[in-house]
Every structure is written in C-alpha cells, then in structure tokens.
Amino acid sequence: MRVEWHTVWGSARGPLRRLAPPIRLVCGACAFTACLLAPATSGEGVAAVAAVVLLWWLLCRPPLRLAWGAALLGLALFLPYLALAPLIRAEAPGGGWSGAFAAPWAVALRGWSTMQVGIASVTTLSLVDLRQALARLPVPRVAAAVLLQIIHQTSTLMAETRRIGAALAVRAAAAGTRSRLRVVSSLPRVWLPRVAARAERVASAMELRGFRGDALPPTTAPALRAPDLLATGLAVAGLAAVIALRLLGAE
C-alpha cells in the first residue's frame, strides 16, 4: 500500500464528517480509549472491540484502499506478538497455553484496534479541522502547536524524501548494491541541508507576513448543534459501557 501522507487527512466520506471538528476528535478519543480498556481476554471484550472498530469504520468511511492497507499493516505489526506465547509458557509451564497466549493476544488486539481507530479518525479531520479542534478543546496551546508542527513537518520531510528519491531514480543512482549503500550513507548530507534550507525559507515568509509567534492563535467556530451533542453523549456512553464491562470482568 502506498498512500501519500497529505491525502490521508480529511479523506473520509462518512457521516462523522458532518459533525464539528472538536466533536470528531472527542468521539475518536472515546473510541480509542474504549479499545484500549476493553478486556481483551474475554469473549465479551473481544466482541466489544470488534463492534467499536467496525462501527467506527462505518461512521468514518475512509477510502477502501486505506482501510484494507491499515488492517493488513496492523496484522503484520501485531500478530508476531503471538509468537511470544511459547516463551511465556516455558517460563511458567503450569499455566497452560491459554494463559501463555493471554498477554500477547491482549497486546495484539489492543494495538491493532487502536491503530484502526486512530487512522480512521485522522481521515475525518483535515489539517484545518484539526487546528480548530485543538483550539476549542482544553488542550495546552504549546502542546497543540507542537503537534500541528510535527504533522506539517512530517508531510514536508516525506515530500522532500520523495523528490530526492525521484531524482536518484532518474539518474540511476540506486542501481546495484554498492551504489545503494553509497546513496544511503550520503543521504543525510543531502537531505538535512535541503530540509534546513526549506525551513529557513518558511520562517522568512512567515516573518514577512507579520506572524507574531503565538503558540496557537484563537479561531472562531460556529456553536455546537444537536447532532454534535448527541454524538458526544453516545460516545461517552459507549466508553462508560466498556469501562463497566472491564470492571465487572475484574470482579
């Protein structure tokens, strides 16, 4: 799967896009927390996680290619944790295979489900929506500004890397093992100066436009509507149900 970073943001077409940006972020946080707190070793917990992920994908409705790619990538990243079960059983031979698989399964399920919810949530927010959401929510302004800069600079760095890779491919600089090793070893000396020069140009442009250096300037947004309040209530109620399921399972 090859998906451009900047095309992921705001690419969803589900009904969740009609809600206010802060509500989308709050609902995504509730779904993420529900997958994280659900009891992964019980049938009810697994069913709850599956329901949350499936419902969230339907509400967000991201591009099908991205959905399949995220699901397969999550399986490739987290299924190998199950290979730890024989090692755990060797350390505690009296526990049986069910006990040995419990911890790796919990890590794999929670990691995969939170990854799906996180990616789906990203597709419901453009960068402008994310800025509005962070500005209206009780998030520290410095932390919000740092997060926005990380996202923006990640897109810039990936675009710069693609341009360097295209230039190398045109010049056939990556043909052969020795040439690839030389390219990889010299890449920081080419990549870092280009990125630093681009950052200086952006800083100069912001200074010329009178940027005052505020951490996160305030934004004006319309008031919340009834669907926004309803969605928030349902998300909080779903999270409370998962917490209750976890508490009941612990008794």
d(CA 60, CA 68): 14
231 with 117, same domain? yes
Report d(CA 181, CA 251) in Å as an integer.
Answer: 57
The reply to whether 218 falls in a domain is: no
Does some domain include residue 215? no
Residue 251 pLDDT class (50, 70, 90 cuts): very low
φ, ψ of residue 163 in degrees (nearest 5): -65, -40
Give dist(CA 166, CA 187) in Å, integer. 13
* 110 in the same domain as 33: yes
Do 28 and 99 have their domain in common? yes
Least confident range of 44-48, 51-55, 90-94 = 90-94
Q: How far apart are CA 214 and CA 220, in angstroms?
A: 16
Does the pLDDT at position 24 exceed 70?
Answer: yes
d(CA 52, CA 58) in angstroms, rounded, equals: 10
Q: Is residue 216 part of a domain?
A: no
In degrees and rounded to multiples of 5, residue 233 shows phi and psi of -60, -40
Whether 33 and 129 map to the same domain: the answer is yes
Q: Containing domain of residue 125, as a range?
A: 5-134+223-250
Each residue's pLDDT tens digit, 36-46: 999 988 888 99
Is 230 found in the same domain as 202? no
**Contact (CB, 8 A) for 137 and 22:** yes
Least confident of 9-13, 60-64, 243-247: 9-13
Structure pTM? 0.76
Cα distance between residue 45 and residue 130, in whole Å:
31
Residue 26 one-letter amino acid = V
* Exposure b/e, 203-225, CB count within 10 A at least 16 = b: eeeeeeeeeeeeebeeeeeeeee
On the question of pLDDT at 112 being above 70, the answer is yes
Locus of tokens 């994310």: 130
- Domain identity same for 27 and 115: yes
188 pLDDT above the threshold of 90: no
Q: Please name the residues in contact with 239: beta carbons below 8 A apart, sequence gap of 6 or more.
A: 30, 31, 33, 34, 37
As a whole number, mean pLDDT of residues 63-92 equals 84
Residue 98, in any domain of the structure: yes
Is 52 among the domain residues? yes
137-185: per-residue pLDDT in tens?
Answer: 888 888 887 788 777 777 777 776 677 667 766 766 555 566 566 666 6
Among the residue ranges 1-5, 83-87, 92-96, 104-108, the one predicted with the least confidence is: 1-5
Same domain, yes or no: 184 and 170: yes
What totals of helices (H) and strands (E) does the chain contain, helices first?
A: 10, 0
Question: Do 166 and 118 share a structural domain?
Answer: no
Q: Report the range out of 74-83, 109-118, 152-161 with the highest average pLDDT.
A: 109-118
Domains in the chain: how many in total? Answer: 2
* % of the chain at pLDDT higher than 70: 75
Residue 72 domain-assigned (yes or no): yes
User: Do residues 119 and 153 share a domain?
Assistant: no
Give the separation between CA 8 and CA 5, rounded to whole angstroms: 6
**21 with 95, same domain?**
yes
Asked, for residue 242, whether it belongs to a domain, the answer is yes
Q: Is residue 214 part of a domain?
A: no
Regarding whether 97 and 26 lie in a shared domain, the answer is yes
Residues 59 and 28 reside in one and the same domain: yes
